[in-house]
């Protein structure tokens, strides 16, 4: 049998998908453990963030950081602005700015590009030089959620509006073979728009309160009060009010199986999230049809909502599993048999 030559330049393309992007970490781990080391890294949205960290040689740090994220710590990273978007994004980017230490894209260990979208024209913008933090910040600016970024005289928003899985960018950077990771393949399988009310272990009032009526036992920041064992438990904030459904913790978490559709009116964030998912899926399918990758990896993340950043572990594991499922085809395409 004639052995094929390995490609000269291997490109890794990391698609957008918000919290589902933690699956990229597991996928990169599995590739590297198999001896596959990309020469070029391109990313859109969360793929740009993970890709920049990887190209900087800090994947270990990122995995440790995301693995420590909890529902409460994610909330503390949200800086409400109501100007151009619900969130400013500064708190999140400050974490990464410290890690990048004012490096530019050209300082990274691997050639890297982040994709953003010009708000006024819809033109996709490939950011291949300048500040890493500015490039990532523009690429993750989900319209309506994060504020747009003013860069070189134009307003930039999330690259997923134009190119969710930027295979074309890797080709333009002279990648001979492209491995692309699409996070949005199976996400339109039905969703419980209202979000499940968390069912935490019930506590009777006398066990949950002290004599001063202050919480004694808690589930992180949530306290469950129920004098009647048959009364459904309710997750409460420290001020005694219930959490909005879109922020409530869900202990019965599964990245593979979306909840059954519900007749409840969608919450604001659920409606926005589902709308973004629809857009991402449609654009991704269209772009990949015209610009196919040599190897397409599609983790099964249908049950993961775009704001579930605190569920890193199952996403990372599924990213690894998706690469392992494709490994025979990967090895064959790269001439590793």
Catalytic-role residue among 39, 45, 139, 168: 45
Q: What gap in Å lies between CA 13 and CA 16, rounded to an integer?
A: 10
Residue of 275, 54, 280, 44 whose CA lies nearest to 180: 44
> How many CA atoms does the CB half-sphere of 276 hold within 13 Å?
26
215 - beta bridge partners? 209
Residue of 18, 315, 4, 11 whose CA lies nearest to 166: 11
Which of the 8 DSSP states describes residue 220?
T
Q: Where are the beta strands (DSSP E) in 159-269?
A: 177-181, 223-224, 235-236
Let me know if 131 is a catalytic residue: no
Burial 123-161 (b: 16+ CB within 10 A, else e): ebbbbbeebbbbbbbbbbbbbebbbbbebeebbbbbbbb
Let me know if 158 is a catalytic residue: yes
Q: Could you tell me if 186 and 300 are in contact, meaning their C-beta atoms sit under 8 angstroms apart?
A: yes
For residues 32, 13, 16 and 186, what is the CA-based torsion angle, rounded to 10 degrees? -80
Q: What gap in Å lies between CA 108 and CA 6, rounded to an integer?
A: 24
Catalytic-role residue among 39, 134, 158, 277: 158
**Residue numbers annotated as active site:** 45, 158
């Amino acid at each position: 049998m004639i052995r094929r030559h390995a490609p000269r330049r291997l490109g890794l393309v990391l698609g957008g998908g918000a919290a589902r992007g933690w699956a990229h970490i597991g996928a990169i781990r599995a590739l590297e453990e198999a001896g596959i080391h990309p020469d070029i890294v391109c990313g859109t949205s969360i793929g740009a963030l993970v890709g920049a960290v990887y190209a900087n040689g800090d994947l270990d740090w990122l995995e440790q950081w995301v693995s420590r994220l909890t529902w409460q710590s994610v909330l503390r990273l949200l800086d409400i602005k109501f100007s151009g978007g619900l969130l400013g994004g500064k708190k999140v980017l400050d974490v990464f700015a410290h890690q990048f230490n004012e490096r530019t894209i050209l300082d990274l260990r691997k050639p890297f590009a982040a994709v953003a979208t010009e708000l006024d024209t819809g033109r996709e913008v490939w950011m291949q030089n300048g500040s890493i933090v500015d490039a990532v910040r523009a690429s993750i600016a989900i319209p309506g959620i994060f504020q747009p970024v003013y860069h070189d005289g134009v307003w930039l928003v999330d690259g997923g509006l134009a190119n969710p899985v930027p295979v074309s960018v890797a080709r333009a950077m002279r990648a001979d073979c492209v491995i692309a990771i699409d996070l949005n393949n199976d996400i339109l399988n039905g969703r419980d728009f209202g979000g499940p009310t968390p069912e935490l272990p019930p506590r009777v009032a006398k066990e949950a309160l002290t004599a001063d009526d202050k919480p004694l036992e808690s589930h992180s920041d949530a306290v469950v009060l129920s004098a009647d064992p048959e009364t459904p438990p309710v997750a409460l904030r420290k001020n005694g009010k219930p959490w909005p459904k879109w922020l409530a913790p869900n202990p019965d978490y599964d990245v593979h199986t979306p909840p059954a559709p519900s007749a409840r009116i969608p919450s604001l964030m659920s409606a926005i999230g589902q709308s973004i998912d629809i857009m991402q899926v449609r654009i991704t399918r269209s772009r990949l049809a015209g610009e196919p990758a040599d190897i397409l990896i599609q983790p099964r993340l249908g049950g993961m909502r775009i704001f579930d950043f605190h569920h890193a572990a199952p996403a990372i594991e599924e990213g690894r599993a998706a690469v392992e499922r494709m490994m025979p085809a990967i090895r064959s395409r790269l001439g590793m048999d």
